[in-house]
Structure 1
C-alpha cells in the first residue's frame, strides 16, 4: 500500500509479511518533489541535500556515510566525492558533451572531437591514444590503436557495416570480417577467418537458428512468443510457461524441473519429483535470505543450507553455509569488503583488505588461524601486496611481475620465487584485442580462435602433447552470449568429455550441467549463490556430487566426489564430476588458470582483467579492474559491472505483463516506458507527471538518462520545447558494437518508439535532422502516472 501527501508525493510504503507490516517513509522540504529524507523500516535514515537548481548535492546514508556532488553549467556533474574522501572530476566540451574525467589520483582520461562534433581521439590515463576517422556521411571508417594497428570499416548504402579489415602496425592484414543482411536489415551472416555465423528468423523477427561453423542451435516459440524449444544441442530443452512464468524445464529425456514462484515473481522452489528440491526464501524487499535442499518430506537437508545477512543499506554482510561454515564481512564507504572472518567449526581466521583511492586492491593481510578466542587486528600479517601503474594495471603482486604492451594488454607474467627458476608466461593479441596465444613456462602453447563477435569458438594445443590421451583441442557452443557447451578432444583426435550448460532463461545464471555418457546423458543440477556463481552440482536424486567456492580476491577451491559413470559399466572405473564455471559468464581454463569472460580474461590471482575494457569508461573508471565487490556485483560479459537486478522486470510484471512480455518490454522499451519506470524508481505513481524531473540508471544492457522540464523560451518557435513541458530519454548500450568494435554511443527516443543517434541531433553536424531533434523532445503526458 502507498500513501501520498497533498502534492501527490509518495510519503509511505506499507509491505505486509509474516512478522507484520513494515513501513518506509519519505519526507520533503517545502514543495520540492525530491525527498529530503527516507526513513527505513528499521528506523534508520538517509538524508538528501540539493542546490537551488534541484541537483542532488549530498547524500548521508543510514550508516552516516556522506557522498557529495558539485555541478556546473547545464547541470552537468563536475565533482563527486565518496565517503572515503576520493574525488573524481568530470569535464565537458563547448557543446556540454562529456569530454573526460580526472580520477582521484589526478590522472586524466580525455576525449577529443573534430569540428563536426565527432569523437576523434581518446587518451587514456597512461597517455596512450586511440584515433577515429569518418567519411562524409559521419560513418566510422578507421580506428587506429596506440601501437599503430588499425581497423578499417566499409559500409553499404544503408550505413550498415559490411566489411572490417584488421591491419597490423606493419601493414599486414590480420583478418577480414564480412557481414550480410536481409531485406529487413537483419544480420544473416558474419564470416571471419575462424568462424562463419549464420542466422535465420521467423516472421516476428525472432532468431530460429544460429549456426556456427555448420552447427546450428535451433529455437521454437509458443503462441505467446515465449521460447519453448531449443534443439541441435546435446540435450534438447523444452520450456513451458504458466501465467508468464517458467513452470517447467525439460532437459533431454530427464525428468522435467518444475518451478513455483512467489506473488512478486521470485523463484520459490524447483523440483524434479525424483529427489531434487531446492527452496529459495526472500525478504519482503526482494533480498535472497535462504537457500536449502529439501527432502521428499519438505524438511531441510542439512547437506546444503545457506543463509544471507544484510546491513541497513541492503549490502551483504554475512553468509551462513551448512558445509563451508560462517562468513562475516565488513565494508567501507565505497562498498568494498575490508575484512572477512571465517568460522569453520571451531577454527577461526580472518583476512583484511586494503584499497587505494581508485578502489584497486593493494594489500591482503591474514590473521593467523586459531581455535576459539578473539582475532586481533594487530596480529595481522601481510600476505600479499600489489603495485599499480598510471593506468591502474597491477605491475607487481607478491613474487609476480606483469608487463604490458602498447595497447595496455598483458604481454608477459614473470614469477620469481626465492630458490626457484623464474617462470615466464607470454601473451599474444590480435588487432581486435583478443587473446590468441599463450606460451607457458613448461613450453606448452595454446591457440585461441574466435568468431566475428569475439566469442571463443575453439582452443588448440600447439606442438607435441605429453600423451595421446591429453586434451589437445576444445570446441565451444554458443547461444547468443551464453556459452552453452564444450567438446574436448584428445591429442589422437578422439572425442573426450562433452558438456552442456543450461541457464535460467534470459540470464547467465547456470541451472544445470549435462555430460555425454555413451548414447545417453548424465544430468546434474547447478545450485548458485547470491551472485549466480556455481556452488554445487546435485544429482537427480538430490545428492551433492561437487562443491566449489570462489575465494574473495583469491583462488577457487572445490571438493569432488568420485562416482561410477554409466559409460564404464564394463569395469570398476570411477570418474569425478566437476564444474568449470566460475563467476557469472566465466569459464575456467586449466592450462593458464585464467577465467575466460566473453570479451576478456580474468586473472583471479591479480583480481584484474588481462586487457582494458573494450567499452572504455562506460565500463567504469577502472578499465582493467574487476567489480568493486564480487559478493554482490557481476560482470558476465567482461564489459561492465552490474548488480544482479530484476527490479524493472518486477515493475513490468506488476503492470500485468507475463514473463515474456516483461523481458521483451525491457529489451524493446519505448521512451514512454523508460520515463514511467524512472518515475517508479523514485517512488512516483498515481499522480500527475512532474514538470521537473531527473533520473539516471542502468538496467538490462543500457544506461539511461531521463529528464523533464518546463517550456523553454529559447527553443525554436513552434518546437515541442517551446510549446509546453517535455521529457527526453537518452540511452547508451553497454558493450561493443561488433560492426565497429567500439561502444554504441548515445541515442534519444521519439514518440513512435524509435531511437535517433546523437550524431543527427546536433545542429553542428552535417547530418543534422531538425525533425528528429524535435521528436526527441516529447510532450509531457497528460493524466496520472501509472
Structure 2
C-alpha cells in the first residue's frame, strides 16, 4: 500500500473527518441544517463559518483573520470586508469570461475575437489573432511563453497535467520525474545537477538532496501537522514558532555558531505591526482607518520612535497613488481607466511631511 487516507461520514453521509497518513486529522462540524460551520485543520487551525438567511456564506473566521460577504436585496455580492478595514465594494459590469473548449483544446474570450492559438502536436493550426494575453502561444500538449526579446520557454505536461519538461532558450532544459503518488521526486536541472526529494505518506516534503560536481547537500524539513516549522541544512538551520492563531511569532536562523532571531508582533486586527530585523533594528507598520498600509518606520536600537521610511500613503479608488517617503521625496503612481499601472514618478516636495496623522 502506497498511502491510505480515510474519510469518515455521519449517519446522513456527510463528511465529518479526514484522517490522513501520519495520524493527521481534519475535522468538520455541522449545524442542524448540515452546513459546515466549524473546521479544525490538520495543523490545528480553526475555521468557523456563518451563513445568512439565504444559506449564503456571510462570515468566515480563519484563525485570527475575519472575512465578511455583504449582499444587496437581490442577494448579489455587494462588498467584501476583511478585518477592521472598510469593506471593498463590488461592481457588477458585464465581464468577459474565459471560455475553454476542452474538446478542441482552444481558448476564447466571450464577446471578443478568437485569440491566436496553435498546437505543438501533429496537424498544428493557427487561429485568428484576438485578445489573448501577449506571450501565451500554445495550449496543448505544451505551453510556450515568449518574452519581449522573442526568447521562448516551452513547458510540457504528461497525461495527468503534471510538468515533466521545461525548455528555455535562455536557461536550458529542466526535467521533472514523479513517483506513483504524483510527487516530484527527481529533477534534472539545466546545468546537469540533480535534485532528489523524499515525501511522506501525507505528501509532506521530508528531505531534499542537491547533487552537483561530486558534492551532495541534504536539507531536512520539519513539520507540525501540515505546518512547516523548521529545516536543517549543513550550513544553517531554521525554526519557526507560531501562536494559537497560527501566526508566525518568531523565526530563529542559525548560521554556524551564531543564532539570529526575528520576532513578529500583530495589532488587534491580526495585521503585522512590528518585526525585528535580527540586528537590533525593527520595522513598524501602521494602517489607516480603512485598514490599509499608511506608514512604515525603522526603529533604531535603543530608540522608541521610528524614522519614517514611508511617511504617508494616499489612495484613490482603492489604489495607492501617492507616497511621501523620507527626505521629502514623493512617489506617484497613475492608473488607467481599467485599473492598470500606467506610470511611475518621483519628485522632491518643498516641505517634507514629518508626522502626519493616519486618515
Q: Structure 1-normalised TM-score?
A: 0.34
Match of 2:333 among 457, 470, 475: 475
Measure how far apart 1:293 and its partner are. Answer: 3.8
Measure how far apart 1:83 and its partner are. Answer: 0.6
Unaligned runs of 5+ in 2: 98-107, 253-260, 301-306, 350-359
Task: Give 1:240's aligned residue.
Answer: 116
Measure how far apart 1:95 and its partner are. Answer: 0.8
Task: Give 1:406's aligned residue.
Answer: 268
Contact 1:309–1:318, Cα closer than 8 Å, also in 2: yes
Q: How does 1:73-88 map to 2 (within 5 A)?
A: 73-88=11-26
Match of 2:7 among 69, 75, 98: 69
Match of 1:423 among 281, 286, 293: 281
Contact 2:142–2:155, Cα closer than 8 Å, also in 1: yes
| In 1, Cα distance between equivalents of 2:96 and 2:47 | 40
Measure how far apart 1:96 and its partner are. Answer: 1.1
More helix by share: 1
| In 1, Cα distance between equivalents of 2:281 and 2:212 | 35
Contact 2:320–2:333, Cα closer than 8 Å, also in 1: yes
Match of 1:325 among 193, 212, 215: 193
| In 1, Cα distance between equivalents of 2:59 and 2:90 | 26
Task: Give 2:142's aligned residue.
Answer: 267
| In 2, Cα distance between equivalents of 1:339 and 1:478 | 47
| In 2, Cα distance between equivalents of 1:70 and 1:319 | 36
Are residue 308 (structure 1) and residue 162 (structure 2) matched? no
Are residue 384 (structure 1) and residue 238 (structure 2) matched? yes
Match of 2:230 among 335, 358, 363: 363
Contact 1:405–1:411, Cα closer than 8 Å, also in 2: yes
Task: Give 1:462's aligned residue.
Answer: 325
How large is the RMSD of aligned CA atoms in angstroms?
4.6
Measure how far apart 1:413 and its partner are. Answer: 0.6
Match of 1:334 among 202, 210, 229: 202
1:84 is paired with a residue of what secondary structure?
Answer: helix
Q: How does 1:641-656 map to 2 (within 5 A)?
A: none
Measure how far apart 1:477 and its partner are. Answer: 5.2
Match of 1:445 among 309, 325, 344: 309
| In 2, Cα distance between equivalents of 1:245 and 1:457 | 44
Are residue 488 (structure 1) and residue 344 (structure 2) matched? yes
Task: Give 1:354's aligned residue.
Answer: 222
2:270 is paired with a residue of what secondary structure?
Answer: coil
Q: How does 1:739-778 map to 2 (within 5 A)?
A: none
Contact 1:67–1:82, Cα closer than 8 Å, also in 2: yes
Task: Give 2:102's aligned residue.
Answer: none
Measure how far apart 1:334 and its partner are. Answer: 2.7
| In 2, Cα distance between equivalents of 1:223 and 1:105 | 40
Measure how far apart 1:68 and its partner are. Answer: 1.3
Contact 1:270–1:277, Cα closer than 8 Å, also in 2: yes
| In 2, Cα distance between equivalents of 1:390 and 1:457 | 33
Measure how far apart 1:280 and its partner are. Answer: 3.7
Measure how far apart 1:317 and its partner are. Answer: 1.7
| In 1, Cα distance between equivalents of 2:67 and 2:194 | 51
Task: Give 2:251's aligned residue.
Answer: 397
Contact 1:74–1:96, Cα closer than 8 Å, also in 2: no
| In 2, Cα distance between equivalents of 1:223 and 1:411 | 42
Q: 1:352 to 1:99 in 2, by over 3 A?
A: same
Q: How does 1:39-438 map to 2 (within 5 A)?
A: 64-104=2-42, 108-111=46-49, 125=63, 140=70, 155=72, 158=74, 186-187=92-93, 206=96, 225-226=111-112, 239-241=115-117, 259=137, 265-267=140-142, 276-293=151-168, 303-323=171-191, 325-357=193-225, 359-368=226-235, 383-398=237-252, 399-417=261-279, 422-430=280-288, 433-438=291-296
2:181 is paired with a residue of what secondary structure?
Answer: coil
Task: Give 1:645's aligned residue.
Answer: none
Contact 2:67–2:82, Cα closer than 8 Å, also in 1: no
More strand by share: 2
| In 2, Cα distance between equivalents of 1:346 and 1:88 | 43
Q: 1:478 to 1:65 in 2, by over 3 A?
A: farther
| In 1, Cα distance between equivalents of 2:215 and 2:63 | 44
Task: Give 2:103's aligned residue.
Answer: none
| In 1, Cα distance between equivalents of 2:160 and 2:79 | 49
Which structure's CA Rg is the greater one? 1
| Aligned residues between the structures | 317
Contact 2:230–2:240, Cα closer than 8 Å, also in 1: yes
Q: 1:322 to 1:121 in 2, by over 3 A?
A: closer
2:327 is paired with a residue of what secondary structure?
Answer: coil
Contact 2:315–2:322, Cα closer than 8 Å, also in 1: no
| In 1, Cα distance between equivalents of 2:293 and 2:16 | 37
| In 1, Cα distance between equivalents of 2:165 and 2:155 | 6
Deviations 1:264-323 (A, max 9, x none): x22365679x974544444344432222245xxxxxx8x512111211122212222224
Unaligned runs of 5+ in 1: 1-59, 133-138, 142-154, 169-173, 181-185, 188-200, 208-221, 229-238, 295-300, 369-381, 494-786
Q: 1:320 to 1:432 in 2, by over 3 A?
A: farther
| In 2, Cα distance between equivalents of 1:114 and 1:460 | 40
| In 2, Cα distance between equivalents of 1:108 and 1:313 | 28
| In 1, Cα distance between equivalents of 2:19 and 2:337 | 41
